[in-house]
Structure 1
Amino acid sequence: MKKTLLTTGLVGVLMAGAAVPTSAISDSGSTPLPGTGAKVEVSAWQCNAYADKCSFKTSTKAKKGGVKYNVSKITNTATVKANGWQATLALSPSGTQVSENTRQVSWTNQNTWIADISGIADPGGSINTSVTTCSDGGAFKSGVKAFASACAND
Structure 2
Amino acid sequence: MKRTLLTSGLVVVLLTGTAAPATALSDTGSTPLPGTGATVQVNAWQCNAYADKCSFKTSTKAMKGGAKYKVSKITNVATVKASGWQATLSLSPSGTYVSENTRQVSWTNENTWIADISGIADPGGSLNTSIITCSDGGAFKSGVKAFASACAND
TM-score normalized by the length of structure 2: 0.87
SS in structure 2 of the partner of residue 9 of structure 1: coil
Q: In structure 2, what is the Cα distance between the partners aligned to 1:141 and 1:86?
A: 43
Where in structure 1 are there 5+ consecutive unaligned residues?
1-7, 12-21
Q: How does 1:24-43 map to 2 (within 5 A)?
A: 24-43=24-43
Aligned to 2:46: 46
Post-superposition CA distance 1:41-82 (Å, at most 9, x none)? 000000011000000000000000010000000000000000
**What displacement does 1:40 show?**
0.1
Aligned to 1:56: 56
Indicate the RMSD between aligned Cα atoms, in angstroms: 1.1
SS in structure 2 of the partner of residue 86 of structure 1: coil
How many pairs align?
137
TM-score normalized by the length of structure 1: 0.87
Post-superposition CA distance 1:112-146 (Å, at most 9, x none)? 00000000000001110010000000000000000
Q: How does 1:14-25 map to 2 (within 5 A)?
A: 22-25=22-25
Q: In structure 1, what is the Cα distance between the partners aligned to 2:63 and 2:20?
A: 27
Aligned to 1:129: 129
Aligned to 2:71: 71
Report the residue type matching 2:92 in the other structure.
Answer: S
SS in structure 2 of the partner of residue 35 of structure 1: coil
Q: How does 1:101-120 map to 2 (within 5 A)?
A: 101-120=101-120
Aligned to 1:9: 19
**Identity fraction in percent:** 85
Where in structure 2 are there 5+ consecutive unaligned residues?
1-17
Q: In structure 1, what is the Cα distance between the partners aligned to 2:122 and 2:72?
A: 34
From the CA coordinates, give the structure whose radius of gyration is larger. 2
SS in structure 2 of the partner of residue 77 of structure 1: strand
